Amino acid sequence: MVKIQEPNEDVITEGSIVITEDLSINKNIPKSVYDNLPEPLNELTNSFTDREKDIVLLSTLGVLSATMPNVYGVYAGRTIFTNLYVFIIAPPASGKGEMVWSKNLIDPIHDRLVMRSKMEILEYRRNSNSASPEPKLKVKLLPGNVSSAKCYSHLEDSDDSLLIFETEADSLSNMLKQEWGDFSDILRKAFQHEHCSISRSDRHYEVKTPKMSLVLSGTPNQLKPLIDSKENGLYSRFMFYSFDDIQGWKDVSPMSHRTNHNDLFSDKGQEILMLYDKLKGLDSLEIILAEEQWDIFQQQMHLATNIIIGSNKVEFLSVVKRLGLIFFRICMILTVLRNKDLITDETKSLTANDEDVRTGVSLIKTLIDHSLFLFDKYQKNAIVLPMRERLLYNELPSDFRRGKGLEIATQLNIAERTYDDILKRWIEIKILQKVCHGLYRKLGIK
């Protein structure tokens, strides 16, 4: 059976369940994720470091999720495709702009699609006697600055997935504020490929199986204009990655950059175009997880939901559950990339690699904390705790002595010094009371 564990990292365990002990709220993606990524993810991320590495990985996954036609899997009894919604949130001058490189991976597909459809339209107009309807302009990249009707039109005309890629989230949120531009319902329905339709005086639009991916970045102040409340169903559909590091000056000279990112991502874009064509020629390609892989994943998700329920955070359960679907989609993408050279016209299905399942689980554990952190920002004076602290809090009795609590923390692989720091922080945020020397009382998390 697969053991989901990041090597060389402190961990919190519950039976066979493993959670990293990094107690910072906005933690980095574990280094172990980068140890065995399939190409081109490995080469693309290796040319970056620290936060920028994480940003490139997540934005690239988001872009690639729109480039895998005919790839599907079955999750909770439903046919699911690879599409992801990614939102990178950080202050200005923090390095989040590195996500823009990933757009180069889909540009060749978009450019060719637009060029061919324009040629078809031109040829149609030259033949004025044609009785067939005029061909539609087809795109792969959809701007955030698009009306609701036009969004429906492009989805209806698309042969597969569309991608909205915006480095300023305001471009999308400003449109959603307009009555004629509010297509937030499409975004919610498209995440799970639910039938959507709209009727206007001159046209009826109907999309039976919408497929859309989103890759956005923005500052913390740009989150709420896009998703006005945590009850908004759009929140639970995103992979959030948030941090507040400010990046100082870095060496921009040619000597400091052994890799030309323009050339690297453009070259990989051509490889993605070839993969896209190969997948386009298939009737379908099913991605399958082995039974023991499902068991490991579901153990992780059971633990996550139990932590959330045990710490009175039930309103966050919808986010956890949809992150389960996101995990499956990540596994689908990684599986296609790892086997891209083995796919032939006869290939009907692929089974996920254990390494890719480990990667998916590690990413989801990180993303849960990022989502939880931002989720709590919607509530004034909310208690902001990462999942590891919530697990420890749940395991402690209502009243406990420091020594007894340390025994529990030790069983969870939390170091003594870290445990003492946690107790101090809990007292400061008033979820723990120090009754007397060495005796503590839990006050509950509201």
Tell me, yes or no, whether 145 and 206 share the same domain.
Answer: yes
- Domain extent, residue 416, equals 396-442
Nearest to 425 by CA among 393, 401, 380, 395: 393
Q: Tell me what the mean pLDDT of segment 336-354 comes to.
A: 96
In the prediction, which pLDDT does 201 show? Answer: 66
pLDDT digits (tens, 9 = 90+) for 382-403: 778 888 899 999 999 999 999 9
Nearest alpha-carbon partner for 117 in 85, 154, 77: 154
**109-118, 197-206, 252-261, 292-301: which range is least confident on average?**
252-261
Residues 161 and 224 grouped into a single domain:
yes
Tell me whether residue 401 is in a domain.
yes
Is 136 part of any domain? no
Q: Are residues 295 and 417 in the same domain?
A: no
Do 223 and 353 reside in the same domain of the chain? yes
Domain contains 3: no
Same domain, 313 and 429: no
Which whole-number Å values give the CA distances from 17 to 30, 217, 245, 298, 355, in the listed order? 17, 32, 31, 10, 17
Can you give the pLDDT at residue 385?
Answer: 85
Q: Mark whether 437 and 292 lie in a shared domain.
A: no
Q: Is 232 contained in some domain?
A: yes
By percentage, how much of the chain surpasses pLDDT 90?
65
**Does residue 114 lie within any of the structural domains?**
no
Judge if 290 and 417 occupy the same domain: no
Amino acid, res. 180: W
Distances in Å between the Cα of 206 and the Cα atoms of 172, 203, 209, 361, 438 are 22, 10, 9, 36, 65
Same domain? For 371 and 401 the reply is no
pLDDT digits (tens, 9 = 90+) for 247-300: 666 666 665 656 789 999 999 999 999 999 999 999 999 999 999 999 999 999
- Residue whose structure tokens are 């531009």: 181
426 and 377 together in one domain: no
Q: Check residue 89 and give its pLDDT.
A: 93
**pLDDT tens digits for range 40-90:** 999 999 999 889 999 999 999 999 999 999 999 999 999 999 999 999 998
Q: Is residue 51 in some structural domain? A: yes
**Are residues 266 and 408 located together in one domain of the fold?**
no
Segment 399-417, tens digit of pLDDT: 999 999 999 999 988 999 9
| Same domain as 429, residue 369 | no
Say whether pLDDT at 230 is over 90.
no
Confidence of residue 91 (pLDDT cuts 50, 70, 90): confident
The rounded radius of gyration (Å) of the Cα atoms in the chain is: 23
Q: Are residues 370 and 311 in the same domain?
A: yes
User: Which residues partner with 285 through β-bridges?
Assistant: 71
* Total of domains in the chain: 2
State the DSSP H helix or E strand holding residue 231, giving kind and residue range, or none if neither: none
Q: How many CB atoms lie within 10 A of CB 268?
A: 21
Task: Tell me whether residue 95 is in a domain.
Answer: yes
Paired residues of 12 in beta bridges: 19
Query: Tell me, what CATH number does 208's domain have?
Result: 3.40.50.300
Residue 193 covered by a domain: yes
Last residue of a domain, one of 382, 407, 430: 382
| Domain end (from 382, 409, 424) | 382
Dihedral of alpha carbons 92, 94, 100, 102, sign:
negative
